[in-house]
Amino acid sequence: ATTVAGELAAGHFVLAAGAWSQTVAAALGLTLEVVPVKGQILLLRAPPGTVQRIVKHASA
| Residue 11 forms part of a structural domain | yes
Residue 1: C-alpha distances to residues 10, 25, 39 (Å): 8, 13, 31
| 6 lies in some domain | yes
Give the Cα-Cα-Cα angle 33, 25, 40 (nearest 5 degrees).
55
What DSSP character marks residue 4? T
8 A C-beta contact, residue 54 and residue 60 = no
pTM over 0.75: no
Q: Is residue 13 part of a domain?
A: yes
pLDDT, tens only, 1-54: 788 888 989 898 888 888 888 999 998 888 988 887 776 666 677 788 887 777
List the domain range (segments joined by +) for residue 18.
1-37
Instruction: Assess if residue 19 is contained within a domain.
Output: yes
Domain total in the chain:
1
Instruction: Please report whether residue 44 resides in a domain.
Output: no
Give the model's pLDDT for residue 26: 92
51 found inside a domain: no
Q: Is residue 17 part of a domain?
A: yes
pLDDT at 23: 92
Q: Helices marked H in 1-60 — which ranges?
A: 21-27
* Residue 20 identity: W
